[in-house]
Structure 1
Amino acid sequence: MREGAYYTNQYRNLFTELGIEAKDVEAKVQDTWDRLFSSQYPETQIYFETDDQMGYMVDTGNHDVRTEGQSYGMMMAVQMNRQDIFDRIWKWSKTYMYMEEGLHKGYFAWSCQLDGTKNAYGPAPDGEEYFAMALYFASNRWGNRETPFNYSEQATTLLKDCLHKGESDDGYPMWEPNNKLIKFVPEVDFSDPSYHLPHFYQLFAEVAAEQDRSFWQEAAEASRAYIRLAADNKTGLSPEYAFYDGTPNHTRGFGHFFSDSYRVVCNVGLDYEWFGKSETPIEVNEKVQQFFKGIPVDDYRRYKIDGQPFEEKALHPIGLLASLAMASLATEGELSEHYVKTFWQTPLRTGDRRYYDNCLYFFSLLSLAGKFRIWK
């Protein structure tokens, strides 16, 4: 087991380990950021600004703004030391997505139109957990300011709501209190394996409200075990939805390996890079990388978790490749190197479906370059 970067403050650069010049890695990171966040590159741009000091990330395939994308954009901005963009995205999110009344008071509406009109009044917990972590990192990197830029206070309040909704008011928590597993949405009793971020929970256990810190430590341990439980023993593939016992939940056909599922190996990789825990299910990443060995990117498909392919092609093939590369944070050998090299040589996606692919692309690029860091 490697000693994690949390303890050493040393982050691997898997590109330079393969002989790529450090200056070329730096240039690629900056160029990729520019292509996602600058209007100079409309074919790849996913971040847009308004005239009132706000900004949003567009899901270009669905023509909306999602908490997933907003929270991802904030995490990207804090890693790139762009407080201006971070604050624009957070201000837009608080202004238009935050729900101040009703069943989901304290949460964020998961989807809005580009003018801020809510498409739904329900939350998606993957957005809340990324919001909270990005806010804590912002607090540690830049310091707190006036509301809503009192970052750490905003994060702590959000996590309190995520755990305690329903105790003294209407609503439901985002984590199941008994088994410490994150829910797909607050009202249901099943999960999404790709929502499990034990490396975030490990940090929440240090900075969240004091009375909740033991919960977050237990949640980190529970999620590492759950990721292993939900992944197929042979292929390593995870379903998009799964019950608490790890079995696939086929509601609306989401019990198979598809777009959400790609993030599981990303989360395992980053968890291992940060903490190097023996409990981290690195074998999941090894199995998934082995499963896709020899399959060209343009032939990636939707799969049953036992590996049987559907005719349906992958909706986000570049995102899947990026995930397979990021998985290498927890794997070794020629196959691991193959995915990193292939990813390095692959450009960003263009076209209407570019948003999700390119979010995963940039997170993978940051991680493999040693730039997806813990800000203490």
Structure 2
Amino acid sequence: MTNRKGASFTGEYRNVFLEFGYPEEEIEKKVADTFEQLFFGDENTRIYYPAGEDMGYLLDTGNLDVRTEGQSYGMMMAVQMDNQELFNRIWKWTHTYMWHDSGRYKHYFAWSCRPDGTRLAQGPAPDGEEYFAMALLFASNRWGDGEYPFDYSRQAKQILAACVHKGEGGEEGDPMWDPTNKLIKFVPETPWTDPSYHLPHFYELFSLWGPEEDRQFWKEAAAASRDFLKRACHPVTGLAPEYSEYDGTPNFTRGHGNFYSDSYRVALNVALDYEWFRADPWQVEQSNRIQEFFAHVPMEEYKVYAVDGTVIEEPALHPVGLLATNAAASLASNGPHRKAFVERFWNLPLRKGKRRYYDNCLYFFSLLALSGKYRIIF
């Protein structure tokens, strides 16, 4: 397994469920049914809501707001599932209510709004921008560019240019990537980062399809993020903090230096980068470590942890999301727990109720990844 070239080279995506004996028709049905439930299901399950005749939003059901995280995730889900109408609805809502057309955040997005579009914050969260850009580039490749604001590739390049060049030539504002170390920031104004924001597999594609003058930057950003993740993930437990310094050490601003909700995304990101690009055997070792740490912990007993594994007696807020991403690590791991995590995930239903939004986003991305359906769209 570990010798096969990445899917970016072969065009072949592993279906881990199929490898472990699940029937193909059941896998197809599970993906389709999960997508249907998330976007069009009952009120205790769905996270997507149409708005007017041609817009829609994903609701953070725990905080009752609409976030760039959720909107960009929804767009990625829609393009992966080849649903252009849904994609356009979410993008139009985002562009109408969140997009800045002037000022210090020009070509960025206000990270939090009420469902009626009223902004709760003006500043951006960079994980939204990178997902918007990647989803838009995939949409351009899949469906072709349309009329504004559905000129997908132009919109994506505009976002990426701002992320790299904001503040140059006396322009107001700050870039989202540190120009010296080429690492993504927590927000444009902070000199530190969030390990779960690091998506080197996206940056590789930005270097192919992003603004021509920045293609070398994105190649270097991909390498820088891969090196950073080695510093941020604990060498024994595999746990990463929610916030960290650029050297990988935990940053405890507002108490976010432990392995907590944001951190869960790192396992999925590392595994997907491995599947797409096979860039580094460390990704296999890291995936083994995170599965080893959680192998004998029931989901109901998931806690908050210091990155060295010390238990902090506070229940995990999103245990379904954590189990899902631990299972997604089986895309890269070659250790003894791969099959058990896939089985636990296969038998795990979507979360219902107030806190379902974040868990179920991670659930669906993990489902796509393990079924070979989270793909580079050329």
TM-score norm. by structure 2 comes to 0.98
Q: CA deviation at 1:277?
A: 1.3
Counterpart amino acid of residue 10 in structure 2 = T
| 1:324-344 Cα shifts (integer Å, max 9, x gaps) | 011111102430111111000
CA distance in 2 between partners of 1:160 and 1:267 (Å): 23
Following superposition, the deviation at residue 248 of structure 1 comes to: 0.7
**Equivalents in 2 of 1:52, 1:35: separation in Å?**
21
SS at match of 2:109: coil
1:360 aligns with 2:362: yes
Structure 1: 5+ residue runs without aligned partners? none
* Aligned residue number for residue 109 of structure 2: 108
Within the alignment, does 1:55 sit opposite 2:62 as a pair? no
**TM superposition shift of 1:320:** 0.1
Are the equivalent residues in 1 in contact too, given 2:47–2:58 (CA < 8 A)? yes
CA distance in structure 2 between the partners assigned to 1:372 and 1:234 by the alignment:
29
Specify the alignment match of 1:261 in structure 2: 263
Between the two proteins, the alignment pairs up a number of residues equal to 375
Q: Which letter does structure 2 place at the counterpart of 1:193?
A: P
Matched, 1:3 2:30: no
Q: 1:171 aligns with which of 170, 173, 176?
A: 173
Provide the residue aligned with 2:215 in structure 1: 213
- State whether residues 288 and 335 of structure 2, in contact with CA within 8 Å, keep that contact through their aligned partners in structure 1: no
**1:245 aligns to what?**
247
Tell me the CA shift for residue 279 of structure 1.
5.8
Contact 1:301-1:309 at 8 Å conserved across structures: yes
State the 1:280 CA deviation: 5.3
2:71 equivalent in structure 1: 70
Tell me what 1:162 maps to. 163
Q: Secondary structure at the match of 1:310?
A: strand
* Partner SS, residue 168 of structure 2: coil
Residue identity opposite 2:118 in structure 1 = T
Partner in structure 2 of residue 142 of structure 1: 143
Distance 1:333 1:230, change over 3 A: closer
Q: 1:159 to 1:280 in 2, by over 3 A?
A: farther
Q: Paired residue for 1:370, among 366, 369, 372?
A: 372
Q: Distance in 2 between matches of 1:337 and 1:368?
A: 12
1:55 aligned counterpart, secondary structure? strand
SS in 2 for 1:77: helix
- 1:79 paired with 2:76, answer no
CA contact (8 A) 1:224 1:281 kept: no
Q: Distance in 2 between matches of 1:179 and 1:115?
A: 39
CA–CA separation in structure 2 for the residues paired with 1:110 and 1:124: 6
The aligned counterpart of 2:25 is 23
Q: Which residue of 1 aligns with 2:237?
A: 235
1:52 Cα deviation from its structure 2 partner: 3.1
In 2, the alpha carbon distance for the partners of 1:173 and 1:52 equals 35
| % identity of equivalent residues | 59
Shift of 1:281: 3.0
- The residue aligned with 1:294 is 296
Asked if the contact 1:35/1:44 (under 8 Å) is kept, the reply is yes
The 5 A counterparts of 1:329-340 are 329-340=331-342
Distance, in Å, in 2 between the alignment partners of 1:153 and 1:368 is 31
In the alignment, which residue of structure 2 is the partner of 1:180?
A: 182
Q: Distance in 1 between matches of 2:112 and 2:337?
A: 38
- Deviation, 1:101, is 2.1
RMSD, aligned α-carbons: 0.9
* Conserved? CA contact 1:225–1:279, under 8 Å: no
Asked if the contact 1:224/1:280 (under 8 Å) is kept, the reply is no
The question of whether the paired residues in 2 share the 8 Å contact of 1:227 and 1:281 is answered with no
> Contact conserved, 2:283 with 2:332, CA < 8 A, in 1?
no
- Could you tell me how far 1:51 is from its partner in structure 2? 1.6
C-alpha distance in 1 between matches for 2:284 and 2:24: 27
Structure 1: 4+ residue segments shifted above 4 A:
none
